[in-house]
Structures are given as structure tokens and as C-alpha cells.
Amino acid sequence: MVQFINSQIVCLDCQNKSLYCEVIDIIKNRETCWVRPVILVDLNTQDNSYYPSKNDIYDLRFTSDLLWKIDDFRIVLDTEYIEFLANLQEFEFDEDKLTLGKQQLRLFIQEIIKDS
């Protein structure tokens, strides 16, 4: 079992998308991790660049927390995460952006479940 600590940034990958989350707590007896999604990055860019455009980075800071199998996550290096985080604008309570973030998170979770 992977060892994480609270407030650490971890990532859940599926196809060409990566969900970056903050660890809230570890539930060792269930081998589960309680995480708070921060951003979802879609690397399906048309120009085949590693760095996605701002339109491919979704702000998930005010979406639902997740309980997920701890072994599915990987540790994230700061240099990887900061590049994407820097592309987020200061959060605005824009209902359309919140709805889009929730939809993208739900679609991502459905893709993971379908692929497993």
C-alpha cells in the first residue's frame, strides 16, 4: 500500500486525463484515500503539446470530495502540479464554471469505472 500524508497532492490518471487531488485522510483498514479534487487536466490537445491550454484545465476546488482506492493514486511532484495550477484563475463563484467542473469530474469518474 502506498503511503500518503494529509495535504499531499496525488493524482488519478485515466486515458489522457489526470485528476489532481489533495489528500484529506487515509482510511487504512479499507485501503482508501479521502481526497479533495483540485484540478482535472485533459491532455487530449489538438497540437500534441504536453502542456494543455487553459480550456483543458478544469477547476474542481468546489466539487465533491472522493473516497477512492489508495493504490490507484500516484504521488505528484511539485513541478508537475504547479504548471497546471498556475493556469487557474482566481476562483469566481460562477455557476457555469462550477457546473462544468462538476460535469467533468462526473465524466472522469465514469470513465475510470468503465475502464476498470
Q: Which helix (H) or strand (E) holds 106?
A: helix 95-115
For 17-76, what is each residue's pLDDT tens digit? 999 999 999 999 999 999 999 999 988 754 555 555 666 889 998 899 999 999 999 999
Structural domain of residue 98, as residue ranges? Answer: 9-115
Has residue 66 been placed in a domain? yes
Has residue 2 been placed in a domain? no
Q: Which pTM does this prediction carry? A: 0.87
- Per-residue pLDDT, averaged over 95-110, amounts to 92
- Per-residue pLDDT, averaged over 79-102, amounts to 81
Cell numbers standing for residue 81: 502540479
The CA dihedral of 54, 25, 7, 16, to the nearest 10 degrees, is -30
* Tally of domains in the chain: 1
- Per-residue pLDDT, averaged over 86-100, amounts to 77
For the chain, report the end-to-end CA distance as a whole number of angstroms. Answer: 19
Q: Which amino acid is residue 99, in one-letter code?
A: T
Nearest alpha carbon to residue 21 among 69, 54, 89, 93: 69
Has residue 82 been placed in a domain? yes
CB 8 within 8 A of CB 75: yes
Determine the pLDDT at residue 2. Answer: 72
Has residue 61 been placed in a domain? yes
Distance separating alpha carbons of residues 51 and 44, to the nearest angstrom: 10
Determine the pLDDT at residue 49. Answer: 55
